[in-house]
Amino acid sequence: MTRFASMIAYAGTVTAATLAATLMSTSALAESPTIDTTPFVSTLSRAEVRAEVLRARNQVSAAGTEWAMQLNDQKPLMAGLSRAQVTAEYIAARDQVQALNSEDGGSSYFAQARVRPAGTMTAGGTAR
């Protein structure tokens, strides 16, 4: 009886898989559920559309500026420090940089820090 039940279960599984494969093999539309078949007829001529775009040139160029800003075409930053000053700051903070780039992410460096906040630290700020 167990072998018979196993054969029925196997046959049911094969039938379900075959049915699912059949249903999934139908064509699918990559459009919205409502397919609008109404033909588009423009009410403006090409010259009228061009004139409208030229009147709203600031809006069109704003979109172009947004696109250009997303490129990496940025102007170099002008800092108030010289290269030598920045190098000296980095060398002075070398221990901190090494600690922050270490395996523990700097947690042991911050645990050993001498500066502790006054009072109890809460999520909203420091309580007195």
Is residue 100 domain-resident?
yes
Residues 112 and 93 in one domain: yes
Residues 68 and 47 in one domain: yes
Paired tokens of 103: 């395996």
Residues 69 and 90 in one domain: no
Residues in Cβ contact with 109 at an 8 Å cutoff, skipping those fewer than 6 apart: 95, 96, 99, 100, 102
The Cα-based distances of 5 to 1, 19, 118 in angstroms read 6, 21, 74
pLDDT at 126 over 60: no
Tell me the per-residue pLDDT of 16-45, one tens digit each, with 9 for 90 and over. Answer: 989 888 877 776 666 666 777 788 888 989
pLDDT value for 73: 58
Tell me the per-residue pLDDT of 92-111, one tens digit each, with 9 for 90 and over. Answer: 888 888 888 888 888 888 78
pLDDT value for 7: 84
pLDDT value for 72: 60
Q: Where are the beta strands (DSSP E) in 1-128?
A: 120-122, 125-127
For 64, the domain range is 43-74
